[in-house]
Amino acid sequence: MSHVIGIDLGTTYSCIAYLEGSQPVVIPNLEGLQTTPSVVSFTSTGERLVGTLALRQAITNPRNTIFAVKRLVGQKFASPEVQKARERLAYRLVEAPNGDVLVSLDSRSLSPQEISSMILGYLKTCAESFFGGKVTDVVVTVPAHFNDHQRQATKDAAQICGLNVQRVINEPTAAGLAYGLNTGNNGTAAVFDLGGGTFDITLLEISDGVFNVLATNGDSYLGGEDFDNRVLEWLVEDFRRETGLDLAPDKLALQRIKEAAEKAKRELSFTLETEINLPFISSDKSDSKHIRKVLTRGTLEALTADLVEKTVPHIEKALADARLGPESIGQVILVGGQTRMPMVKKKVTEFFGRVPEEHINPDEIVAMGAAVQSGILHGRVQDLVLLLDVTPHSLGIETENDGYEVIIDRNATIPTHKTKAFTTVEHNQRRVKIHVLQGESPLASLNVSLAVFELVGIEPAPAGVPQIDVTFEINADGLVQVSATDVETGRQHKIEIRPSSGLMPSEVKEIMRSLGEGEGKPGADG
């Protein structure tokens, strides 16, 4: 019997699950743990480590230990997010020939997709060890607010390590599936998903096995990493005041501080204060310098209060799109490790006027939901008959003067299709260029470009006379097809938008071939 697994590929931790009977079950990794650090490290001997063993390399081998790579997937090197990340990361980022971001190691450069594939490959090995047989099919989750490039990059990463992606599902939607199956509750639910690198809020209606996503919103660059960095910045600034030494240029010191900051943050979810002790963090002509500091929960909350507040406008936008008020929400589900922070729980409780559900592990619920989706696809879950998801970003075309005409609004239920009529802007214009975009800005140049094609053979006529019907179609997998038709002549041009991750299909195959020849054998993974 072939097994289909669900994978939550997280920024800081990842998780695998499968469907046993009709219930999702988490698959432990090779060390018997329920979650795996999303970390890859390369030792001086060329050995590749993944997971806990890789995480242990973060202090001693920071230049070749890669974490939080999910934040780099599908991104351009010049983007503000990547440039900001470069300031703190111990490993180097460089620009690829096509403008994408690459991770620069001592001996080579790797794309974020390749790093992600190593994490997925390790999880695949864990599943195969658990089942005692080959595993190839997977449902993989992504943040609801990931754009097409980021989703395709995730699919490419899975393909590189030999996984066949049967469906890409939004993380909050997956959590809603797992929650609905576990409780059998009907009503309107809000999934508040604050993980290591991203934030999503999704509103969905559950009714007798039908899961209808009403709206989603979020921020692909807001998560636990940002909370850790606030503590890091506080410690670095305090050390500078006390000693006059700036630790910012010292990547090794920053990595030690970051690790201590994350540990302290986690502890403060369960205690009111904790001590951060980092001996020999630096030195000057007189002696060695140390960090010894007590961090209280109150100080942590003061340092990060604005990060928690940043979630509120996204919740409000999702509610507005769904035409709902906070009082209409029956259940609130917390997802992601950062939701363990008491201040986050308090803010969510205050906003919705109800205490969130906490009986499902926030680190495991997304992978469990992915496993449920695999059961729906294969007809093994009879109680869940339909999942109606939405497109997270608006889709449209560029118009004159850098304009952007939306054709399908964000949060439209998929599958869907919609047609809008356009015309020419010049007399006797024989062709029109259709530039397909994704995003919310009224300026075309500020949105994501998906494709460009031309409709030719328009009958000569004064500007404004020809009617060009542009139709967008999105299927259940989120695949976009765009067509343009000259109503007068019936001429049509159609294009299927196959989003690019930055890697060409030939490059993906070449990476798969090189791995098949022995580079980074699975047995070397930790």
pLDDT for 477 equals 64
CATH topology of domain 224-305: Actin; Chain A, domain 4 (3.90.640)
CA distance 102 to 93: 6
Structure tokens belonging to residue 371: 């496993």
In sign, the C-alpha dihedral spanning 417, 419, 425, 426 is: positive
Assess whether pLDDT exceeds 80 at residue 525.
no
Q: What is the mean pLDDT of residues 77-85?
A: 89
Task: Supply the residues annotated as catalytic.
Answer: 8, 70, 171, 193
CA dihedral 144, 149, 154, 160 (to 10 degrees): 170
Structure tokens belonging to residue 351: 């906003």
Neighbour-count burial for 195-218, b at 16+ CB within 10 Å, e otherwise? bbbbbbbbbbbbeebebbbbbbbb
Assess whether pLDDT exceeds 80 at residue 506.
no
Q: What is the mean pLDDT of residues 46-56?
A: 93
* DSSP calls for 202-255: EEEEEETTEEEEEEEEEETT-SHHHHHHHHHHHHHHHHHHHHS---TT-HHHHH
Answer whether 4-221+327-389 and 224-305 agree in fold.
no
Q: Is 522 exposed, middle or buried (0-12, 13-18, 19+ CB in 10 A)?
A: middle
Structure tokens belonging to residue 187: 């009503």
pTM score, whole prediction: 0.87
Structure tokens belonging to residue 176: 């809603």
Assess whether pLDDT exceeds 50 at residue 524.
no
- 3-class SS string, 436-484: EEECCCCEHHHCEEEEEEEEECCCCCCCCCCCEEEEEEECCCCCEEEEE
Q: What is the mean pLDDT of residues 271-280?
A: 95
Q: What is the mean pLDDT of residues 378-386?
A: 69
Q: What is the mean pLDDT of residues 432-442?
A: 91
* DSSP calls for 108-121: -EE-HHHHHHHHHH
pLDDT for 273 equals 96
Rg, Å, the chain Cα set: 24
Segments making up each domain of the chain, as ranges: 4-221+327-389, 224-305, 395-497
Q: Which of 477, 434, 439, 426 is nearest to 454 (CA)?
A: 434
Could you report the per-residue pLDDT of 143-170, keeping only the tens digit for each? 988 888 888 889 999 999 999 999 999 9
Q: Is 222 exposed, middle or buried (0-12, 13-18, 19+ CB in 10 A)?
A: buried
Strands 137-142 and 164-170: parallel
pLDDT for 499 equals 59
297-309 and 342-352 are packed helices; what angle lies between their axes, rounded to 10 degrees? 40
Could you report the per-residue pLDDT of 347-378, keeping only the tens digit for each? 999 999 999 987 778 999 999 999 999 888 87
Structure tokens belonging to residue 444: 């075309």
The CATH number of the domain covering residues in 395-497: 2.60.34.10
pLDDT for 1 equals 55
Assess whether pLDDT exceeds 70 at residue 526.
no
Q: What is the mean pLDDT of residues 372-398?
A: 81
Cβ partners under 8 Å of residue 502, min gap 6 = 74, 96, 98, 100, 111, 113, 149, 153
Structure tokens belonging to residue 237: 């600034």
Q: Is 482 exposed, middle or buried (0-12, 13-18, 19+ CB in 10 A)?
A: buried
Q: How far is CA 321 from the centre of its chain?
A: 22
Q: Which residue's structure tokens are 């503590």?
A: 231
Could you report the per-residue pLDDT of 320-357, keeping only the tens digit for each? 999 999 999 999 999 999 999 999 999 999 999 999 98
Measured CA to CA in angstroms, residue 20 lies from 25, 212, 214, 388 at distances of 6, 25, 29, 24
In this structure, how many other beta carbons lie within 10 angstroms of the beta carbon of residue 353?
A: 11
Could you report the per-residue pLDDT of 292-301, keeping only the tens digit for each? 999 999 999 9
Lowest-pLDDT choice from 62-66, 325-329, 435-439, 521-525: 521-525
Structure tokens belonging to residue 358: 């906490």
Q: How far is CA 113 from the centre of its chain?
A: 13
Cβ partners under 8 Å of residue 384, min gap 6 = 177, 180, 181, 209, 211, 372, 375, 376
Instruction: Judge whether 29 and 18 are in contact, CB under 8 Å.
Output: no
CA distance 240 to 312: 34
pLDDT tier, 108 (very low <50, low <70, confident <90, very high otherwise): confident
Of residues 109 and 519, which shows the higher confidence score?
A: 109
Alpha helices in 106-169 (DSSP H): 112-131, 148-160
pLDDT for 45 equals 86
CA distance 339 to 347: 10
Q: Which of 174-178, 405-409, 421-425, 427-431 has the highest mean pLDDT?
A: 405-409
| Mean confidence (pLDDT) of the chain | 89
CATH topology of domain 4-221+327-389: Nucleotidyltransferase; domain 5 (3.30.420)
Q: What is the mean pLDDT of residues 462-467?
A: 90
pLDDT for 519 equals 43
Assess whether pLDDT exceeds 50 at residue 100.
yes
Assess whether pLDDT exceeds 70 at residue 101.
yes
Q: What is the mean pLDDT of residues 107-132?
A: 94
